[in-house]
């Protein structure tokens, strides 16, 4: 089942990239909904599971520290990319290379999404499906961003499509990796905490700002709240 979801995540990324090439006026609403869904999974699913599993072997403060660590690791990666681009702001070649670096980072994110899905299925099918729902929403936006960032930094559509394929296959690779590792409850709890930090950063610092970019905030905010509500209801029913 995780591999089937990995294929669905790959298709979600490809569809997102295709949409980015064709439709732009409604993307902010989709990104707003995705932000709410990703944040809701972090708060209402991953974090409670991390506290339950990790709390059996570690202090709760240790588990929550891993949430902060995940958030800050994503922050560090994002800021390093920004500093790289600012250092070559007047150099077209380096600006072009930044598009490839950013696309590579998005592919790494997708790989980690696949790892997150695989680890979630180690907990239970229910947790796995809920994390997969958030990842599908996130990977759709990843497909959009992969295409946009290449084109925005001077890349060709052919280059954008090649990176889109890499990004689409990355979560499948992450899921396959988790099939060959076996972790105890305490370690699994810490890993889920780490991924909840990842999801919080992705939603709060990536998807929400991107959805509000040059658009009125009322409908994007509404869609973010709707995304959170839909996932909260789904998690409550599944729980």
Higher pLDDT, 127 or 21: 127
Both tokens assigned to 237: 């029913």
By the 8 A CB rule, do 16 and 143 touch?
Answer: yes
Q: In the predicted model, what is the mean pLDDT of residues 31-56?
A: 83
Quick one: pLDDT at residue 119?
Answer: 82
Structure confidence by residue, pLDDT tens digits, 138-193: 667 667 667 766 666 666 777 778 888 888 888 888 889 888 887 788 888 898 89
pLDDT at 41 over 50: yes
pLDDT at 17 over 90: no
Least confident of 3-7, 63-67, 113-117, 120-124: 3-7
What's the rounded Cα separation, in Å, for the pair 177 and 180? 6
- The residue among 144, 147, 149, 167 whose CA lies nearest residue 29 is 144
What's the rounded Cα separation, in Å, for the pair 134 and 127? 11
What's the rounded Cα separation, in Å, for the pair 224 and 137? 12
DSSP string, 5-61: HHHHHHHHHHHHHHHHHH--TTHHHHHHHHHHHHHHHIIIIIHHHHHHHHTTTS-HH
Higher pLDDT, 7 or 69: 69
- Cβ-in-10-Å burial (0-12, 13-18, 19+) of 119 comes to buried
Q: Structure pTM?
A: 0.67
By the 8 A CB rule, do 154 and 99 touch?
Answer: yes
pLDDT at 126 over 60: yes
By the 8 A CB rule, do 141 and 28 touch?
Answer: no
Count Cβ atoms below 10 Å from residue 125 Cβ, excluding itself: 12
| pLDDT band at residue 67 under the 50/70/90 scheme | very high
Mean pLDDT of the chain: 75
Quick one: pLDDT at residue 69?
Answer: 95
Q: Quick one: CA torsion of 151, 154, 158, 162, rounded to 10 degrees?
A: -70
By the 8 A CB rule, do 33 and 223 touch?
Answer: yes
| pLDDT band at residue 65 under the 50/70/90 scheme | very high
């Amino acid at each position: 089942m995780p591999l089937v979801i990995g294929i669905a995540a790959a298709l979600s990324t490809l569809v997102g990239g295709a949409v980015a090439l064709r439709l732009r006026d409604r993307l902010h609403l989709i990104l707003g909904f995705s932000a709410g869904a990703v944040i809701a999974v972090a708060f209402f699913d991953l974090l409670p599971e991390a506290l339950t599993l990790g709390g059996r072997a570690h202090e709760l403060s240790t588990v929550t520290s891993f949430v902060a660590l995940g958030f800050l690791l994503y922050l560090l990666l994002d800021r390093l990319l920004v500093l790289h681009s600012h250092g070559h702001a007047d150099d077209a070649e380096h600006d072009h290379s930044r598009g490839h670096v950013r696309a590579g980072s998005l592919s790494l994110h997708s790989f980690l999404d696949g790892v997150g899905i695989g680890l979630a299925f180690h907990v239970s099918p229910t947790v796995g499906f809920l994390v997969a729902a958030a990842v599908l929403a996130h990977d759709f936006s990843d497909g959009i961003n992969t295409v946009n960032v290449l084109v925005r930094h001077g890349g060709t559509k052919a280059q954008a499509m090649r990176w889109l394929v890499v990004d689409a296959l990355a979560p499948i690779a992450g899921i396959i990796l988790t099939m060959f590792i076996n972790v105890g409850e305490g370690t699994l709890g810490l890993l889920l905490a780490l991924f909840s930090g990842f999801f919080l950063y992705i939603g709060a610092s990536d998807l929400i700002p991107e959805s509000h970019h040059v658009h009125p905030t009322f409908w994007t905010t509404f869609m973010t709240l709707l995304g959170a509500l839909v996932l909260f209801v789904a998690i409550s029913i599944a729980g």
